[in-house]
Structure 1
Amino acid sequence: MNRTKACLIFNPVAGQSDPEQDLAAIRALLEPEIDLDIRFTTEDVDGDTIAKEAIAQGARIIIASGGDGTLSATAAALVGTSIPLGVISRGTANAFAGALDLPDTIPAACEIILGGATRVVDAALCNGLPMVLLAGIGFEAETVERADRQAKKRFGILAYLMAGLQELRELDSFTVEIETEDKVITVTASAVTVANAAPPTSILAQGPAGVIFDDGLLDITIVAPASRAGAIAASYHLLRTALNENAAAERNDIGYLRTRRVIVRTDPPQKVALDGEIIGNTPIDVECVPGGLTIFVPRDAAPPAPLEKLEGLPELTIESKPVVGFEE
């Protein structure tokens, strides 16, 4: 009988658990049914590189085990292919698993890989780079940069909270121009998030509520608080929105919309975090790739939410434009 073959991409420095025990547990669960070609990431070789090599050598299933960086990098290599991705999340935030409704324990993740159905979900391209989760501009990008590997290793998910609190002390606003297929929006904001998929913990992406990862659209959230107190209140409101997927944001300092493609320009330029990694500064051009990724998943996505809410944002202007493409 022919056994299933898969390449397992394993990050030995992810999370706070014992990597040797983790790998032994994965092998004990999967190897009775799957022939594993186990490859390790290093500081110089990430999941994207390993996955491309494995695909070139004929791999038909890719399994990634590590933190969000490893999972996103591996998934990026599979965008536009029909090769299914199995996810075994062992990171600090486990945002990737949360965004796609996947478990974050080894036994449950392995069970899905062995018996779960595959599902086609969306991906995206951000300035030509594959994007599975989201691009954060402003506050979120600055927070990601503050939460370094050492802090995450020591404090876990609290590293992001501490970084966010530190960043809140230096909260800045900037002018942002958001160009979609049919309008140009200009507004003053402190954070803009363009999400293909996002877990509830990515609260700055939760304006529309229940970010949908297979609707062919990007979810854009604009956070424009007038003060630090307003930023805290807006963040708390977005957290409640995240926990109640059917209730979109209803504050005047939070706006959202959905679109297939968006160009975001800012003045002054702002840092951009793409799937948890800083990639440079604005502007960004993000386009959804419908059905770009095949993944093992256990259940259906959340139901649709309203497409947009922009009223009440400070210094807001909206200019309609004909649907004839984007100005480059």
Structure 2
Amino acid sequence: MKLPDNLGTAPFFIVLNAGSGNEEAAARRSTIEEVMNRSGRAFTLRVVEDPARLDAITDELTRQAVASGGILVAAGGDGTINTVAGKAVDAGCPFGVLPQGTFNYFGRAHGIPEDLELAVQALLASRLQPVQVGLVNDRIFLVNASIGLYPQIIEEREADTKQFGRSRVVALLSMLKTALGRTQYLRIGLDEGGKTRTMRTAVLFVGNNSFQMERLGIEPLSSALEDGKLAAIAPRSVGRLGMMGLMLRGAIGKLGGARNLVAFSFETLTVKQRTLYGTRKKIKVATDGEIRQLDTPLRFSVLKDQLLLMKPDSVMTEEQAAA
């Protein structure tokens, strides 16, 4: 994979997800344009107002970035970042991030500021660094992928944020509400390096983000991600209150000490869902907050150094930016 020679002057091609509304998107666009114009750097900015147009607009900017030796940039939450990153991986072009989501795990793991003006300034001063991505079947994920309860939590969270607004508090309360509801358990077969096991669990969570693992309190899995592996977490059958207890432990960063938890790292993993009628052909999978139906069995693997990320050397503070 050939890296561009003119990285310091390469144009940016920015995909901005309008998110919750046009007024907020207009403010974000104005901030990006102001900082970019002040820097004198060439850029193209497209605002995605209709989510159904995200793929098409990203494809268009990806072609422009490849043709001009430019850098493809995602401005949005983890779902938007996932979509744009997938195009960058396929095209082999450099990729930048302006995090604008609720949790911003990918940006925080790589030291990218959550403040938009600081993030744009950091992007202008970033260096290229290949980073690892996860793969489930043919879908990449930067933060996590999961089946079972977690996709349900995401669906409920999206409904609640539309009603109560997007915040981390709303997301946490929505998660606890879902945990107290009816839990459907999965019976899955796990094949890791020729070793097969069967387990009953409400959720299988596969992580590719060291920052998220640290926040959950699972330090060994955080270290494993730095060694080119993925992290798998699955609670045993613990009941409704037990599941809520595990979620609360995760919320306060103490999940690593839980007894009723299976946690391990891997490079490749095959997952089959078993039912009374054999194995299910499709299953609902959440990848970086986006939910899709994927064919089974699910095959998880690592793509090492396949994403060429524009990563800042250090995080700029607001005081430094104003100086």
Please give the TM-score of this superposition, normalised by the length of structure 2. 0.79
Q: Which of 274, 283, 287 is the aligned partner of 2:287?
A: 274
Specify the SS of the correspondent of 2:52: coil
- Measured at CA, do residues 3 and 79 of structure 1 come closer, stay the same or move farther in structure 2, by a change above 3 Å? closer
The structure 1 segments of at least 4 consecutive aligned residues displaced by more than 6 Å after TM superposition are 201-205
Residues 184, 173 of structure 1: CA spacing in aligned structure 2 closer, same or farther, 3 A cutoff?
A: same
| Partner Cα distance (1:137, 1:51) in 2 | 27
Aligned residue number for residue 6 of structure 1: 12
Aligned-pair Cα RMSD in Å:
3.0
Answer yes or no: is the 8 Å Cα contact 2:221–2:264 preserved in 1: no
Aligned to 2:306: 292
Q: Secondary structure at the match of 2:101?
A: coil
Over 3 Å counting, the alpha-carbon distance change for 1:7 and 1:90 in structure 2 is same
Amino acid at match of 2:178: E
Residues 207 and 125 of structure 1: CA distance in aligned 2, closer, same or farther (over 3 Å): same
Instruction: Provide the residue aligned with 1:231 in structure 2.
Output: 243
Please point out which of 122, 125, 142 is paired with 2:132: 122
- Whole-angstrom distance in 1 between the partners of 2:270 and 2:217: 17
User: Against the structure 1 CA distance between its residues 182 and 238, is the aligned structure 2 distance closer, same or farther, given a 3 Å change threshold?
Assistant: farther
* Aligned CA distance change for structure 1 residues 181 and 16 (closer, same or farther; 3 Å): farther
When structure 1 is superposed on structure 2, of 2-11 and 26-35 the one drifting more is 2-11
Gapped regions of structure 2 (runs ≥ 5) = 1-5, 315-323
> Offset at 1:126?
1.4
Deviations 1:172-224 (A, max 9, x none): 32222111124112112111111222653997795844266553211111122
Q: Name which of 22, 42, 53 aligns with 1:45.
A: 53
* Residues 110-162 of structure 1 deviation map (CA, whole Å, 9 limit, x = unaligned): 12211122211111321212222211111111111222367247421344334
Which is helix-richer, 1 or 2?
2
Q: Report the CA distance shift for 1:83/1:215 in structure 2 as closer, same or farther (over 3 A).
A: farther
Q: 2 CA distance for matches of 1:149 and 1:34? A: 39
Q: Distance in 1 between matches of 2:241 and 2:175?
A: 14
1:252 Cα offset (Å): 2.2
Residues 166 and 149 of structure 1, relative CA distance in 2, 3 Å threshold = closer
**Counterpart residue number, 2:26:** 20
Q: Deviation digits for residues 208-249 of structure 1, max 9, x if unmatched?
A: 44266553211111122512221122223333447xxxxx81
Match of 2:158 among 148, 167, 188: 148
Compare 99-108 and 211-220 and name the one that shifted more.
211-220
Equivalences for residues 113-262 of structure 1 within 5 A: 113-148=123-158, 151-152=161-162, 154-157=164-167, 158-168=169-179, 169-197=181-209, 199-200=211-212, 206=218, 208-210=220-222, 214-241=226-253, 249-262=256-269
Residue correspondences, number: 294
CA contact (8 A) 2:59 2:87 kept: yes
Match of 2:321 in 1: none
- Does the CA contact (< 8 Å) of 1:134 and 1:198 recur in 2? no
Instruction: Give the drift of 1:91.
Output: 2.1
Q: Distance in 1 between matches of 2:195 and 2:216?
A: 22
Matched, 1:96 2:109: no
